Structure 1
Amino acid sequence: MHGRELLQQGLFRHTGNGISSNVWVEKWIIDTIPRPPMYKANSVVNLALK
């Protein structure tokens, strides 16, 4: 739910069709520099998520 307010304001990034865009590797979060999302090392995430 973190960042929900930004999404509601219309923040988005085109990722194509999503077939080759890896959620946890691509630098799709725009900050001072583009960066990938962060996750906790002990959390369960699908690192192959497209």
Structure 2
Amino acid sequence: MNAFLFAGMHIANRLSFKKKFSLLAFVTLLPLIFGAAIIVMQQKEAVNLLNDE
């Protein structure tokens, strides 16, 4: 576990602030985008089901 953390810290120390910020934004926004897409698809299916009734 320590080796994994040490490798991650070593890589993070080599990145510039701009790249660290971009990586953090990507890692944060990617799951949010997928979650929002799933919610939109579920709502679209619900609307289609109501329209069919």
Same fold (TM over 0.5): no
Give the structure with the larger strand fraction: 1
Give the structure with the larger helix fraction: 2
Higher relative CO (Cα under 8 Å, sequence separation at least 6) belongs to 1
Q: Which has the larger radius of gyration?
A: 2
TM-score scaled by length of structure 2: 0.21
TM-score scaled by length of structure 1: 0.21
